Amino acid sequence: MMKIYWYLLLLFLSLSCKESPQKDHSNRTLVKNVHIVNVEKGTVDENRHIVVEADRILQITDVLPTGEFSTEIDGQGAYVVPGLTEMHAHIPSPPTSENRIEETLFLYLSGGITTIRGMLGHPYHLELREAVRKGNVLGPRIFTSSPSLNGNTVKTPEEAMEKVSQYAAEGYDFLKIHPGIQRGVFDSLVKAARQAGIPFAGHVPVDVGIRHALESGYATIDHVDGYLEGLVPGNAKVNPTENGFFGFNFTQLADTSGIKDLVELTRKQQVWVVPTQTLFERWFAPTRADSLLAQPEMKYMTPETLANWKRIKEEQLGDPSWDEEQWALFDHIRLRLIRELARNGQGLLLGSDAPQLFNVPGFSLHREIAAMQRSGLTPEEILRMGTLAPAQFFGAEAEWGTVEVGKAADFLLVEANPLKDLSTLRKMKGLMLQGKWLSRNLINQKLAEIAENAAKPNND
């Protein structure tokens, strides 16, 4: 009888253990004592704790979770912001070394950027996109364009259709449009893109023009390209090919009363715009090259790159057609267009065109943020441009773009509330990327290494 009693007792204890297993928190990360910025509503959820498991946000709570965690991060009142998106990025390609390419990806991360849209594709970028996705290379999520479609690469409708089919089949995320494409060739390209189900984005060729470009269904128009030319009245009888740098030569002819109609057409056709205003405020502005080269982030670029940037800048300032007073008007019109496109068009997406003239990856996006403030946009509007709006653009708002349970664990910690002061985004305390924590110390160590490597001869 006693044996039966002990047997039943052991069986009961065994079943009880199976029904109430101990939860294993050993592969989880706890981020505690933080305030979460709700970029959709423009509000802050105070005093929260975030549990991350693998690459996802498992829990957000106002009660401190208990149990074991592989990593605990005490935010000490820091603000959590969704990872930023750089919508006009450039990724080096061979013959640039793999090490330098990976350093460039890390520079983006150092600025809190967890997603980039590469705007000049290469077959290598398809491999890199997958390597990052699988966690084999440390870098932001990558969307990549095709190689350039321009007046030299697609001279006939047949060439355009062939290239579109090829790039769609190879798996590029979208097609990159550059200047020089003739209108008939462009129309064939658009038709082939629709048939292949691949979007297209980028510049507006002069022969196409802004209105036809918008009606053709660009995914994004970058640099606000073509808009200033679109403000020139028809009776001005200009030669479109004499427009200069993004319409600079037509600045005095621009009729700003036409902005409303262009913005309305942009909204109607659901075309997003990526301004890259910092490119114009640095490359094309009256600022001297040496003052730009003295900025701290320049140490992450190679001497060869910096020398090339200086040469181009000095050539631009020395061009007889460039005029500082005309530039001020040109800039004023651009900022007005940006403000109207943000509020009455389809919307804007943050992008800086890094690494182009004096725009260093990871740093230039914050200069773009400052430029957007100068255009009159609010911190709330600008934050959405770099977080939720890109996710909506890619149809991925269920995956990333906000800090919510079930979404990708891609977010940064900053010292203060960015809804009140966007400059705090530059003061990152750490970055969560695909569920991996990159501390400020680790980021600083890697940046120091990149600067040291950049100073070496032939680092590219």
Output the CA–CA distances (angstroms, integers) from residue 253 to 205, 235, 256, 326, 338, in the order listed.
20, 11, 9, 11, 19
- pLDDT value of position 26: 58
Question: Strands 84-89 and 113-118, how do they pair?
Answer: parallel
Q: Is residue 419 part of a domain?
A: no
Residue 10 within a domain:
no
Residue in this structure with the two tokens 């080096």, named with its chain if needed: 92
Q: 430 — phi, psi (to 5°)?
A: 170, 165
Task: Quote the pLDDT of residue 27.
Answer: 82
Per-residue pLDDT, 13: 37
pLDDT for residue 2 is more than 50 = no
Within-domain flag for 288: yes
* Domain extent at residue 128: 84-395
Note the pLDDT tens digit of each residue in 246-303: 999 999 999 999 999 999 999 999 999 999 999 999 988 898 999 999 999 999 999 9
| pLDDT, mean of residues 182-203 | 97
pLDDT at 61 over 60: yes
Flag whether 127 is in a domain.
Answer: yes
Kindly state whether residue 4 falls inside one of the protein's structural domains: no
| Whether the Cβ atoms of residue 205 and residue 152 lie closer than 8 Å to each other | no
pLDDT at position 28 is 93
What is the 8-class DSSP label of residue 210? H
Q: What is the CATH number of the domain that holds 223?
A: 3.20.20.140
| Phi, psi angle pair for 25, to nearest 5° | -100, 10
Please tell me the distance from the alpha carbon of residue 398 to that of residue 409, in angstroms, as a whole number: 13
Question: Which token pair is 404?
Answer: 């919510």
State pTM to two decimals: 0.92
- 459 part of a folded domain: no
The predicted-structure confidence for 336-352, as pLDDT tens digits, reads as follows 999 999 999 999 999 99
Mean pLDDT score, 63-91: 96
Is 286 contained in some domain? yes
Residue 427, pLDDT above cutoff 60: yes
- Total number of domains constituting the chain: 1
pLDDT of residue 297: 97
Residue 212, in any domain of the structure: yes
Print burial letters for 136-156: b (CB count within 10 Å at least 16), e (below 16): ebbbbbbbbbbbbbbeeebee
> For residue 460, is pLDDT > 70?
no
The pLDDT value recorded for residue 235 is 87
Among the residues of 20-121, which ranges form H helices?
Answer: 98-110
Structure tokens at 118: 């590469």
Short-list 255, 393, 268, CA closest to 337? 255
